[in-house]
Amino acid sequence: MRKKSPWIYVPFWIVISFLTLFPIYWLFVISVKPAVDLFTTPDILLTSFYWDNYTEVLNDRLLRSYMVNSLIISSGNAVLCTTLGFFACYALSRFNMSGKESIFFWTITNRMAPPAVFLLPLFLLMTQVYRFGDFTLLDTRIGMILVYCTFNLPFAIWTLRPTVDGIPRELDEAAYVDGASPWKVITEVVFPLCRPGLAVTLILTWVFAWNEYLLAATLTNFNARTLTTGLSEYVTTTGTEWGIMAAISIFTLIPALIVFGMVQKHIVAGLTFGAVKG
């Protein structure tokens, strides 16, 4: 490879970063403008800040409970999917069960389903079939945690498989020879080595669950409503409360940003989608 001064890349990256950040910047611009200013000729630079959208959002108790719901649902779902996905990948990687590759492919087909039409059967199942006395899964956090598994669990399995495959079997076998139980092998040998992959899976499933909208909008009405549905209340019911919508959007970005920032360095190591050898 030719050697160039490393600084020549910097202007290029500044341009790319500008393009990447612009829509997010624009979201912020909208959030600090009064509604009337949105319909004037747009100006690329901010000249004044109008914080009322934020005060309104912060004083909205409903939105605060939506935020709590979103945090519980996406964290619960991410932990559940990563845990189940990890055990599933261990089984797929270490055992010679017949048809396991078909099962591996079958899991991902659950992510391909066009979501709109599956809302109705999920609604019916959650109200009429999966009920325990008076308790139904509809509009509960646990219900949403389970529903989100349909798209996140396959993703977790497909992201984790190469990580688990990449851990040499000899390590397991040596531990078995020493008399360790399967549980001990998984928790004390395989699990620690999979940490980067698990971190990435956890984070991406968390972000997918945090950002989901269509299912949450149909399968919750009050108790388990999430932040993205709260967002749409401002978009659809009153026409265009763009400023408040943008302020809520900024709030939905912050937790995602924090969570994402925590695992930046793991992300490249863990994100290989079943393709690259470990």
Residues 35-54 that bind another protein (CB under 8 A): 38-42, 44
Interface with another protein, residue 268, by CB under 8 A: yes
Interface with another protein, residue 110, by CB under 8 A: yes
Output the smallest distance, CB 169 to another protein, in A: 9
Interface with another protein, residue 220, by CB under 8 A: no
* Residue pair 264/200 in contact by the 8 Å Cβ criterion: no
Interface with another protein, residue 99, by CB under 8 A: no
| Contacting another protein within 119-158 (CB under 8 A) | 119-122, 124-125, 129-130, 146-147, 149-150, 153-154, 157-158
The CA distance from 109 to 103, in Å, is: 10
The CA distance from 151 to 209, in Å, is: 9
Residue of 67, 202, 247, 271 interacting with another protein (CB under 8 A): 271
> Which segment (51-59, 61-69, 104-112, 187-195) binds another protein by CB under 8 A?
104-112
Residue of 95, 170, 178, 179 interacting with another protein (CB under 8 A): 95
Other residues' Cβ atoms within 10 Å of the Cβ of residue 157: 24
Q: Which sign does the torsion angle of CA 209, 214, 218, 224 carry? A: positive
Interface with another protein, residue 189, by CB under 8 A: no
Interface with another protein, residue 71, by CB under 8 A: no
Interface with another protein, residue 66, by CB under 8 A: no
Interface with another protein, residue 26, by CB under 8 A: yes
Residue of 76, 85, 190, 198 interacting with another protein (CB under 8 A): 85
Task: List, as one string, the DSSP characters of 125-187.
Answer: IIIIISEETTEESTT-HHHHHHHTHHHHHHHHHHHHHHHHHTS-HHHHHHHHHTT--HHHHII
Closer residue to another protein, CB minimum distance, 167 or 271 = 271
Interface with another protein, residue 246, by CB under 8 A: yes
Interface with another protein, residue 12, by CB under 8 A: yes
Query: Would you mind telling me the total number of residues written for the chain in this entry?
Result: 278
Residue of 63, 73, 92, 167 interacting with another protein (CB under 8 A): 92
* Residue pair 270/199 in contact by the 8 Å Cβ criterion: yes
The CA distance from 164 to 187, in Å, is: 13
Closer residue to another protein, CB minimum distance, 59 or 276 = 276
Burial group, residue 75, by CB count within 10 angstroms (0-12, 13-18, 19+): middle
Residue 48 dihedral angles phi and psi, to the nearest 5°: -140, 155
Other residues' Cβ atoms within 10 Å of the Cβ of residue 252: 19
Which among 215, 205, 246, 274 has a CA at the least distance from the CA of 50? 246
Interface with another protein, residue 167, by CB under 8 A: no
Output the smallest distance, CB 1 to another protein, in A: 8
Residue of 7, 36, 48, 132 interacting with another protein (CB under 8 A): 7
Interface with another protein, residue 264, by CB under 8 A: yes
